[in-house]
Amino acid sequence: MADQSIPEARTPEATRGAPGGPGPLDSENTTARQGVSRRRLLGTAGATGLVLGAAGGAAGYAAAPSSATPLTSLGDEEVMFHGKHQPGITTPMQACGHLVAFDLVAGAGRREAAALLRRWSETARRLMAGEPAGSRDTGVARDAGPSSLTVTFGFGHSFFGRTGLAERRPVALDPLPDFSSDHLDKNRSNGDLWVQIGADDALVAFHALRAIQQDAGSAARVRWQMNGFNRSPGATAQPMTARNLMGQVDGTRNPKPADVDFDQRIFVPEGPEKNEQAWMTNGSYAVVRRIRMLLDDWEKLPVKAQEHVIGRRKSDGAPLSGGGETTEMDLEKTDQAGNLIVPINAHARITRPDQNGGAAMVRRPFSYHDGFDADGVPDAGLLFICWQADPLRGFVPVQRKLDRGDALSRFIRHEASGLFAVPGGAAEGEYVGQRLLEG
């Protein structure tokens, strides 16, 4: 929960494609692919009764009648699967998401893993383009457009031993250190393979989740799954930084693709002097933490006390030292009694990059609510996901410092954790991870 914002909010007219990644896709000048997208059938088809029969006898996607209301811009948003980086890293935040980890079954190795990633990549490409998944498509999302769907794949530490690729495991994937705030459930942590799914429509996201689970077949089994949500694009009068379940504006200091040093902070560079594993070039490392918020305790605090815990005003996210949300925080400013305006243990002070040797990461979380425990306490919080070129220079130093005296630590609990190597994007004709599995 560092003081860094999620990727920028979108206006309903936002351009398709991930910032800093593949360029925008013109809906009237798409690359020819097998099949026809749901977006085209529902948004632009002029004839009634048209049915798509994709390769392999996929389920039909019927066009809307000519008098039907065209798809909104929300459903029309499409993110490209192929590109320099995988989607879902710099893509603007989506309204809903699923995180799921898999373990390879006993006896499955490199060959089975390669076949699985090939299946997954083709399914992701189809679904992100608004096409049916294939011959076993369930039809759950037949009425929707792409809805900014992204599917992102990563490898856990254990994956490399199970596939005979231990010598190609990056040093940056070494297990995270233990933190005093950890209360980790091992059954909901780590995993051989990790998939992040995000979309602006819940059925589109579930459709992708179900297709990925089906594609796993006899090669892998689900280890854990988590479901999350964010504010829907266009839900506010103007684009703004999102709030978390504590009601706080969730930071403003996320690195942005326009920053001159963004790529070197977030993506693995090319060249053996900076990257000991060439297959990770243009990839990134994802730290995933299920952070439970102790909302009953938090909500008992007066607003002013909450603001001192965070170091920012609750109303607009501005620093307590004054100004607006994006005003630089004055860490030395004091009140008339000589007390620091931003407390020494305020979350926003501790997590600043300039207080952590320049450590920076792109935070791209989802909120979650999994009901209530036996005492009626909400099981809710943050599915924290952060991206960086090296977790030992990004997440780890910041979390170590938080561990030593963050005022927010009384109100949160880290309950699950994972670290995954997310390779660069797949080129046309490739699948994700091909350079690792076939190199």
Q: Which amino acid is at 315?
A: S
Q: Which amino acid is at 426?
A: A
Q: CA 100, CA 216: separation in Å to the nearest integer?
A: 12
Q: How far is CA 413 from CA 145, 279, 295, in A?
A: 37, 35, 11
Instruction: Give SS3 for 126.
Output: helix
Q: CA 43, CA 73: separation in Å to the nearest integer?
A: 10
Q: CA 365, CA 260: separation in Å to the nearest integer?
A: 24
Q: Which amino acid is at 281?
A: T
Tracing tokens 């607009």 back to the chain, one arrives at 316
Question: Catalytic: which of 103, 215, 250, 390?
Answer: 250
Q: CA 212, CA 195: separation in Å to the nearest integer?
A: 9
> Is the distance from CB of 281 to CB of 85 less than 8 angstroms?
no
Q: Which neighbouring-strand residues pair with 199?
A: 96
Instruction: Give SS3 for 243.
Output: strand
Give the DSSP H/E element, type plus range, for residue 288: strand 284-293
Long-range contacts of 56-65 (CB under 8 A, 24+ apart): 56/134, 56/135, 57/135, 58/132, 58/133, 58/134, 58/135, 58/137, 59/132, 59/137, 59/138, 59/139, 59/142, 61/36, 61/132, 61/139, 61/142, 62/142
Cα 299 versus chain centre, distance: 27
Q: How far is CA 424 from CA 12, 34, 152, 245, 267, in A?
A: 28, 24, 10, 32, 9
Q: CA 429, CA 225: separation in Å to the nearest integer?
A: 29
- Closest to 163 in 3D by CA, of 109, 232, 211: 109
Characterise 298 by phi-psi region: left (phi > 0), alpha (psi -120 to 50), beta (else): alpha
> Is the distance from CB of 215 to CB of 123 less than 8 angstroms?
yes
**250 is known as an active-site residue:** yes
Furthest C-alpha separation in the chain: 75
Q: How far is CA 260 from CA 20, 266, 423, in A?
A: 11, 12, 22
In the chain, % helix, strand, coil (3-state, to 5) comes to 25, 20, 55
Catalytic site positions: 250
